[in-house]
Structures are given as structure tokens and as C-alpha cells.
């Protein structure tokens, strides 16, 4: 077998080694695994985080300056390596106006290697205002990219509008790695309680102010509209807004169980397997890795059709998508699945078929290899 090709890897929003779990961290780790499966040797060259969630111009200036110093250091380091150990390509995961990549383009130019982004997003309305500098940095990186792997249809539109003549846009839908989980299978039957069937709902999300808290607020409203139906909710997640989330769901008493942050795969498998319906309003969700994970276990999803969520849930086949931000629509969809066991099972089967058949690590690795090898083979421009 030929030697793995060394490439540089960077995730400016959140390093794959970051201590806090999130969909971004999960996807960064999955991309590293997929690149290895594709017979590359990805090296995480920097953990500098450029995320600015507040729109702080002075913070953006500091991060830009730190990035320049980091780029200079990496260029010197690369030049000191034997030629066959230098990166042949720079791969950045997730670039947008809150998390620009000020490092990769400089290093790629200095080394004369291709520069690639996975999950790049353009937002021209941020060209002015509190994120102007970070937006500018993200646009420079996106303009420089030889290829952009597009993970959702929402990103595709904006990227296509301003794509340069030499830049390739390549579909790379979000994916999972079945090997991370112990043999996913369809969930256990609903719990019997007296003469009623208690359906298990599941939500897995960080508890933080902003969009996540907005989603929890909508979820509480939707559950309150379910009437006398017998249900319980397992809630996995933690964060700064936990007290507010607990207050929102206190009306449901013991029907809601707070598990806190759970990173142990065995425990997560258990919870995913037991769930009958994964419910999440998904306010401004990029796409939601947990939605794919739930479906891998045969758990149908009911979610708001926000952002990239339609790219990870097949409406009517693996779950039900509702109007974004509409608690009543979410409640109606949940009630219909509660009352129709056959449809619930059919969606669960469709969900598992979708993820196992179309969103695998091997498929992602194949896409990455077929797209990156020709770039690496091209003669350098510098």
C-alpha cells in the first residue's frame, strides 16, 4: 500500500481536542477519521480558536494578529521538515464570519500547496457591523480555496453565487461512523405504565443562551400542548443556561429527566436505543450531528426545518420536519407519531436505512480521496 500523504488540518471554530462536546467537535473528529480512511495523514497543526460570538472588534484584531504569528511559525516549521514530510495540502474545517481562517491561506501560499475548506459559509450581510473584520477574514479564505466541500444546501446557494472560476464546490453531506457505536438497532418498545404506553422522547443539545435556549423554549411549549398523552423525555446536555432550561421544564415534573453532559458512548447508546422519537426545534441549527446519530439507531426525528436540518433528515422518510420556530407545528407532528405506531416504526426503519446506506464514513472517505488527489497532483502555482 502506498504511503499516506501528509496534509495539514485546522478547525478555527473548535479544535477536535476541545474539552466541550458539540456537533462541530464531532464533525472535526469525523473528518480526521475520514481523511485517514482515505489514506491521507492529517496533522492538526494548530488549535488556535478564532471564534468571536459577541462581535468584539478588538478581539478579532487580536485573533488576526495571533493567527499571523501562528502562520509564520508553521511556515518555518514546515520548511525545516524533510520534503516528503511537509504537508501537501491544507484542509480547514468550518469557516464563517464568526470563525475565520487567517492561518491556512498564508501557509498554503508560502508552501505552494492547495488550500481546501469543508463547510464554508458566506454571509454578505455581515460585511459591515461588529463582525466586519472576521467576515473579511472568512471571505479571503473562501476566495482563496481551491475547493470547498459543501455540507448543506443552504451553504451551496451562497457559495455558488460568488464562486471563482477555478474553485470547485464538492458535495460532502454530514456523515457518521458506525464503528463509534455498539451495533445500532431499532429502539426498544415503548414503556408500559399501567394500561398506558409511555413513549420515550429524547433531546441531546448543549444548554446555552441564544439559539439553543430558544429551541428549548419552543420544545417546552410543544410538550405542553400534548394533552393527556403518556410520555417521558430524556434530556442530555449541560451549559450556562441549564438553570433556565430546568425552569422551563419544571412544569412536567418527573416526566423530564436531566442526564447532564454524557460523553460515555455506552450510556449514549443506551439512551438512543430506548428513544421512540427524537424531538428538537433546531433553531438556526447548522444541521445537527445528533439528528444523524439518533437515526442511526432507528429513532425517527421530529425537528424544525431550520438551516441545514433538511440535509440530515429526510422529511416523510426518516422523520418529520416542521415550520421553523413553530411550537404548535412541532406538537402536532409529535402527536401524530405518538398516535400512529406503524408510521413511527416505518420512519425508524427509514431513518436507519438512510444513515447506514448514505451517510457512512467510507462514503465520506471516498469523496475526499477522489476530490483531493487531483488537487495534490497539480503542479504548484508558486
What is the domain extent for residue 344?
179-358
Looking at residue 315, the DSSP 8-state letter turns out to be B
Asked if 329 and 203 sit in the same domain, the reply is yes
Q: Are residues 120 and 213 in the same domain?
A: no
- Is residue 191 very low, low, confident or very high in pLDDT (cuts 50, 70, 90)? very low
The whole-number pLDDT of residue 196 equals 58
Q: Point out which residues pair with 65 in neighbouring strands.
A: none
Given a cut of 50, is residue 193 above it in pLDDT?
no
Pairing verdict, β 277-280 and 301-304: parallel
pLDDT in tens, 62-111: 999 999 999 999 999 999 999 999 999 999 999 999 999 999 999 999 99
| Same-domain status, 20 and 54 | yes
Read off the DSSP letter of residue 64. Answer: H
What size, in residues, is the chain? 382
pLDDT band at 219 (very low <50, low <70, confident <90, very high): very high
CB neighbours of residue 217 within 10 Å = 17
- Exposed e or buried b for every residue in 325-362, given b needs 16+ CB within 10 A? bbbebbbbbbbebbeeeeebbebbebbbebbeeebbbe
352 and 221 together in one domain = yes
On the question of pLDDT at 194 being above 60, the answer is no
- With residues binned 3-state (H G I as helix, E B as strand, rest as coil), the percentages for the chain, rounded to 5, are 45, 20, 35
With respect to residue 368, please indicate whether it lies within any of the assigned structural domains: yes
DSSP 162-200: T--TT-EEEE------GGGSS---PPPPPEEETTEEEEE
Instruction: Note whether 55 and 150 are same-domain residues.
Output: yes
pLDDT in tens, 262-310: 988 889 999 999 999 999 999 999 899 999 999 999 999 999 999 899 9
Is 186 domain-assigned? yes
Q: What is the pLDDT of residue 184?
A: 56
Same domain? For 153 and 213 the reply is no
pLDDT tens digit string along 230-254? 999 999 999 999 999 999 999 999 9
Q: Are 133 and 58 in contact (CB under 8 A)?
A: no
124: which DSSP letter? G
Mean per-residue pLDDT of the chain: 93
| Helix or strand run (H / E) with residue 154 | helix 153-161
Residue 157: pLDDT band with limits 50, 70, 90: confident
User: For 137-147, how does the pLDDT look when each residue is reduced to its tens digit (9 = 90+)?
Assistant: 999 999 999 99
Q: Are residues 170 and 210 in the same domain?
A: no
- Cβ neighbours of residue 177 under 8 Å, at least 6 residues apart? 30, 33, 360, 361
Q: How far apart are CA 239 and CA 20, in angstroms?
A: 10
pLDDT at 189: 45
pLDDT at 188 over 50: no
pLDDT at 321: 98
Q: Are residues 95 and 220 in the same domain?
A: no
Residues 52 and 126 in one domain: yes
Q: Any idea which residue has 442530555 for its cell? A: 236
Number of domains, the chain: 2
In a domain, 382, yes or no: no
Distance CA 7, CA 276 (A): 42
Which tops the pLDDT comparison, 379 or 262?
262
- The answer, yes or no, to whether residue 367 has pLDDT greater than 50, is yes
Residues 285 and 197 both lie in one domain: yes
Instruction: Give the domain CATH number at 196.
Output: 3.40.50.2000
Amino acid at each position: 500500500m502506498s504511503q499516506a500523504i501528509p496534509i495539514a488540518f485546522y478547525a478555527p471554530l473548535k479544535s477536535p481536542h476541545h474539552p466541550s462536546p458539540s456537533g462541530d467537535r464531532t464533525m472535526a473528529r469525523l473528518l480526521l477519521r475520514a481523511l485517514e480512511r482515505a489514506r491521507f495523514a492529517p496533522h492538526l497543526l494548530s488549535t488556535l480558536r478564532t471564534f468571536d460570538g459577541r462581535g468584539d472588534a478588538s478581539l478579532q484584531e487580536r485573533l488576526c494578529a495571533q493567527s499571523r504569528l501562528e502562520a509564520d511559525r508553521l511556515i518555518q516549521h514546515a520548511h525545516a521538515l524533510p520534503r516528503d514530510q511537509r504537508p501537501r495540502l491544507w484542509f480547514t474545517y468550518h469557516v464563517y464570519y464568526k470563525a475565520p481562517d487567517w492561518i491556512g491561506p498564508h501557509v498554503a501560499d508560502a508552501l505552494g500547496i492547495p488550500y481546501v475548506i469543508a463547510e464554508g459559509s458566506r454571509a454578505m450581510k455581515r460585511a459591515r457591523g461588529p463582525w466586519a473584520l472576521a467576515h473579511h477574514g472568512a471571505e479571503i479564505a473562501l476566495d482563496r480555496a481551491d475547493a470547498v466541500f459543501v455540507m448543506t444546501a443552504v451553504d451551496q446557494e451562497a457559495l455558488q453565487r460568488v464562486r471563482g472560476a477555478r474553485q470547485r464546490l464538492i458535495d460532502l453531506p454530514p456523515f457518521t461512523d458506525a464503528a463509534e457505536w455498539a451495533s445500532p438497532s431499532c429502539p426498544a418498545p415503548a414503556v408500559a405504565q399501567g394500561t398506558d404506553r409511555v413513549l420515550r422522547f429524547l433531546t441531546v443539545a448543549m444548554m446555552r443562551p441564544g439559539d439553543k435556549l430558544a429551541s428549548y423554549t419552543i420544545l417546552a411549549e410543544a410538550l405542553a400542548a400534548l394533552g393527556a398523552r403518556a410520555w417521558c423525555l430524556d434530556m442530555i446536555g449541560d451549559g450556562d443556561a441549564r438553570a433556565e432550561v430546568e425552569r422551563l421544564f419544571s412544569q412536567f415534573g418527573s416526566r423530564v429527566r436531566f442526564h447532564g453532559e454524557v460523553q460515555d458512548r455506552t450510556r449514549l447508546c443506551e439512551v438512543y436505543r430506548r428513544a421512540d422519537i427524537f424531538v428538537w426545534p433546531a433553531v438556526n441549527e447548522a444541521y445537527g450531528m445528533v439528528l444523524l446519530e439518533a437515526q442511526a439507531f432507528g429513532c425517527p426525528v421530529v425537528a424544525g426545518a431550520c438551516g441545514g436540518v433538511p440535509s440530515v433528515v429526510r422529511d416523510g422518510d426518516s422523520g418529520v420536519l416542521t415550520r421553523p420556530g413553530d411550537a404548535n407545528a412541532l406538537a402536532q407532528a409529535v402527536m401524530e407519531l405518538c398516535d400512529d405506531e406503524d408510521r413511527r416504526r416505518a420512519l425508524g426503519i427509514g431513518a436507519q436505512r438512510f444513515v447506514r446506506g448514505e451517510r457512512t464514513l467510507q462514503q465520506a472517505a471516498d469523496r475526499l480521496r477522489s476530490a483531493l488527489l487531483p488537487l495534490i497532483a497539480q503542479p504548484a502555482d508558486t
